[in-house]
Structure 1
Amino acid sequence: MTASIRDAARPFTGAALASLLPPATRLLGLGEPAHGVEAFPELRNELFRHLVEHEGYRSIALESDCLAALATDAYVAGGIGVLDDAMSRGFSHGLGASPANRELVRWMRAYNEQCPPHERLRFHGFDGPLEMTGAASPRPALTALHDCLSAHLDLPWSRETLDELLGPDERWTDPAATTDPTRSPGRTPEAGRLRLIADDLRALLTAHTPHLTAALSPDGWWRADVYARTAAGLLRYHAGMADIAPTRVGTLMCLRDAMMADNLDAIVAREARRGPTLVFAHNRHLQKDRSSWLLPEGWGPLAGRTLEWWSAGAIVGTRLGDRYAFAAATFGTRGSDVPEPGTLEGLLSALPDARAVIDPVRLAAVLDRTPAPRVPADHTYFPLDPATAAQADALVFLKDI
């Protein structure tokens, strides 16, 4: 069987992975099975350089706060600020501390110094301002959108009205609201009014697109649209946090990935005339099939419950069809965590190369049975589901991390 598996695999290179993608691809998702393992963003950097230099890609999107990413993009595309500030202010989830992310931003800026403005690489975040400990206040996004529009349109709401409805930011960012819905302001009458205002502001942004694009510049309109999507998404997420139903956590997972999908849609539309986009995030956010998560200890009465939701990749893949491609990454050995021989990762560990790219369709054709699921050594790692691995367009395997 090993010889047959080798027929489905080749050493990892950007060209080897690109050869497995549909010709119509405009958005390529590269997943990682665990956060905080530098081997995966390092591989991402290598792939992105190939895609830029040989496949016409002109942008990248990371699983990071879309608002914070505006600062990184300003540095990458416009040379505004310095690298240290771009890393400290332009990332969420602690991603600014990653050496691979720093190298990505440095390389993109250096590449852009040799390019005319219309060909420069752009940097995007596609996550909302969300952390495991809670969600950000909607104030920055909502007031920034209001400021953009009020400079050019007569609005029926003042900043003072918004500030009064928003109240103290501490109400929105209270970590206790993560587990106690009664601590969240997301379903108060004031929050309900804010959701209507955010919706109306976004409608005005759309209705006056020609005028506002000329007044703000295309990049200015893009920033306003990021504020609009984020304000609406955050208010929706806070309403979910205030939900007392037992399905609350699953609803929040759905809302987050729906926000991610909307951001990816907007990025693809913005980049349509320039080139495809690489998006890098956890496999669970990019896979084409339904995502699931067995809640570990520490989630109180929810521990041991399996949550299921449609990933951003599944949502955007439905919209884009064969213009969305997904490459799932996984690994063999990490320290004492060695895969069992009958698992997918155990079978792939017999390959001779330290890094390989595998055609999942050919792999499924040569296997005489569906491999057993790998049991993770800890909750930070999500192994691939062997039953749905063939839905990916490519598999990337690192033998040892």
Structure 2
Amino acid sequence: MATDIRDTVQAVDAAALMRLLPARPRLLALGEPTHGEEALLGLRNELVRQLAEEGYRTIAIESDCMAGLSVDDYVTSGTGTLDEAVEAGISHGWGAYAGNRELVRWMRAHNEGRPAEERLRFAGFDGPLEITAAASPRQALTALHDHLAARVDAALLPCTRETLDLLLGDDERWTLPEAMTDPARSVGRSAEAARLRLLADDLATLLETRLPRPGTADARDDRDRAHLYARTATGLLRYHHWMADPSPERMAHLLAVRAQMMAHNLLALAERGPVLAHAHNSHFQRERSTMRLWEGPVQWWSAGALVSARLGDGYAFVATGLGTIRHRGVEAPPPDTLEGLLYALPEDRCVVDAPRLAAVLGDPPPAPRESPWFGYAPLDPARLAGSDGLVFVKDVPQS
């Protein structure tokens, strides 16, 4: 079998990735099967540098979309410092990883002295969400209100800034960790939250109808940020609403809302030009996602599935698979698994034509691999043909 699959692999570089695709996608999604491994972040950074030469001007990662604005300010104009950008602008604590710091440092160096239209842009495309809680909608909602208040007649605004502050109350009541497992602790279905959802919708509508046509590039950037505020405010209020839901479908709704927020952010980024996005494989797959949680099994459509439905051939997904993470207890894969077949090849890293490999392997596909470590998700051989390509890394060393 290893001999049969040799013709489906190439050396890892951007050119090899692009050869797998019929045309340059507007959104190229590069997945990873686990978070925080420096070897995988380093590989991503190599591809970013090469794909920047292919015209990919926006680099988006699985991080807080609001916080990411400060990183974008740093890489485009040098606002702040590298330390400030990665510490405050990359969420989930991932700013501490050397690979993410190096990405931001390199983007700033690349942009130095270049005209605005040639600069790389940075974006987080996740909502301001953690697995244990969701952010208060205050930042996004008040930023949207401030943007509109500076540009339209006050009589058009549905409320004052003071009204928003009164309805929002203390941020701590929105971010209570206990609300993730106990819907009764969530503020998401209070009378204040219901009023805020209506006001957020009114503000978003006002943005669409009263400020539709920016002129200069700076005005377009301002408009894009205002639309990000609107998407984030409405998305967070929707997320909090479902956090307070006592029904068995609660977690499915929460995961779907998060995926929708991701998808909307990616689509907005793709409107301004080609995007290279990086996140967990599960966020980019075209097939329905499944997970077993404390409330039972849940299903939803990932951000990749939603974006693919909109962009068609303008979306491409390249997954990443790996052989070992020995420092996490992930040893060499069984030889009859998809990872095992790739592990038997001599290359330490390779790009794989995933649809072609799926055809070579035939039906039924190889046995799925099982991971002894919860932080690593093996590839699903039955879904191999659903990706446009695959990057395989034989061994991931400890950083």
Q: What is the SS of the residue equivalent to 1:148?
A: helix
Where 1:309 maps in the other structure, the secondary structure is strand
- Residues 48-75 of structure 1 show CA distances to partners (whole Å, capped at 9, x for unaligned) of 111112x111111110000000000000
Structure 1 residue 307: Cα displacement: 2.2
Q: Distance in 2 between matches of 1:209 and 1:156?
A: 16
1:359 shift after superposition: 0.4
Deviates more, 1:6-15 or 1:362-371: 362-371
- Indicate the SS of the match to 1:291: strand
Alignment of 1:17-28 (within 5 A): 17-28=17-28
C-alpha displacement at 1:294, in angstroms? 3.0
Partner of 1:373: 368
Name the CA distance, whole Å, in 1 between partners of 2:63 and 2:116. Answer: 24
Note the C-alpha offset of 1:215. Answer: 12
Q: Please name the residue that 1:391 is paired with.
A: 386
- 2:381 aligns to what SS in structure 1? coil
Asked if the contact 1:268–1:277 (Cα under 8 Å) also holds between the matched residues in 2, the reply is yes
1:130 correspondence with 2:129? yes
- Structure 2 contact 42–99 (Cα < 8 Å) conserved: yes
Distance 1:149 1:258 in 2: 25
Q: In the alignment, which residue of structure 2 is the partner of 1:87?
A: 86
CA distance in 2, matches of 1:216, 1:198: 24
Q: Which runs of 4+ in 1 moved over 6 A?
A: none
For residues 129-183 of structure 1, what are the alpha-carbon distances to aligned partners after superposition, in whole Å with 9 as ceiling and x for unaligned? 0001100000111011101111121223111111111111111011110101011
Question: C-alpha deviations, 1:362-388, integer Å up to 9, x for none?
Answer: 212222441101111122111111111
C-alpha separation between the residues in 2 aligned to 1:344 and 1:234? 39
Aligned to 1:12: 12
1:92-122 Cα offsets, whole Å, 9 max, x none, are 1111111011111111111111311111100
- The answer as to whether partners of 1:213 and 1:220 remain within 8 angstroms in 2 is no
Name the residue aligned to 1:66. Answer: 65
2:290 to 289, 292, 308: 292
Map 1:41-60 onto structure 2 (within 5 A): 41-53=41-53, 55-60=54-59
Q: 1:195 aligns with which of 197, 214, 218?
A: 197
2:348 is matched by which residue type in structure 1? A
Match 1:321 to one of 312, 321, 332: 312
In the alignment, does 2:37 pair up with 1:37? yes
Contact preservation (8 Å) 1:152, 1:212? no
Instruction: Tell me the matched-pair count.
Output: 389
2:353 matched residue in structure 1:
359
Q: 3-state DSSP class of the match of 1:129?
A: coil
CA RMSD of aligned residues (A): 1.5
Output the TM-score relative to the length of structure 1.
0.94
SS at match of 1:267: helix
CA distance in 2 between counterparts of 1:329 and 1:195 reads: 38
Q: Secondary structure at the match of 1:379?
A: coil
3-state secondary structure, aligned to 2:237 = helix
Which residue does 1:280 correspond to in 2?
278
How far apart, in 2, do the equivalents of 1:391 and 1:215 lie? Answer: 37
* In 1, Cα distance between equivalents of 2:127 and 2:218: 23
Is the contact between residue 287 and residue 314 of structure 1 (CA under 8 Å) also seen in structure 2?
A: yes
Q: Secondary structure at the match of 1:328?
A: strand
Contact 2:158 2:203 in 1 (8 A): no
Please point out which of 259, 262, 272 is paired with 1:260. Answer: 262
SS in structure 2 of the partner of residue 237 of structure 1:
helix
Picking from 340, 345, 349, the partner of 2:343 is: 349
Distance 1:371 1:156 in 2: 58
Counterpart residue number, 1:140: 139
Q: Deviations over 1:341-368 (max 9, x none)?
A: 1111111101111001100122122224
| Percentage of pairs with the same residue | 58
- What CA distance in whole angstroms lies between the structure 1 residues aligned with 2:230 and 2:215? 15
For the residue of structure 1 that corresponds to 2:367, the secondary structure is coil
Deviation at 1:213, TM superposition (A): 5.8
**CA–CA separation in structure 2 for the residues paired with 1:389 and 1:370:** 9
Deviations 1:280-330 (A, max 9, x none): 0000001111112233xxx4xx3xx33221100000000000000000001
CA distance in 1, matches of 2:297, 2:379: 16
Worse overlay, 212-221 or 226-235: 212-221
Deviates more, 1:203-212 or 1:88-97: 203-212
Q: How far did 1:256 drift?
A: 0.3
Q: Which amino acid aligns with 2:308?
A: G
Corresponding residue for 1:96?
A: 95
Q: Supply the distance in 1 between the matched residues of 2:172 and 2:141 (Cα, whole angstroms).
A: 16
Alpha-carbon separation, structure 1, partners of 2:13 and 2:256: 34
Q: Deviation at 1:334?
A: 1.6
Q: Name the counterpart of 1:150.
A: 149
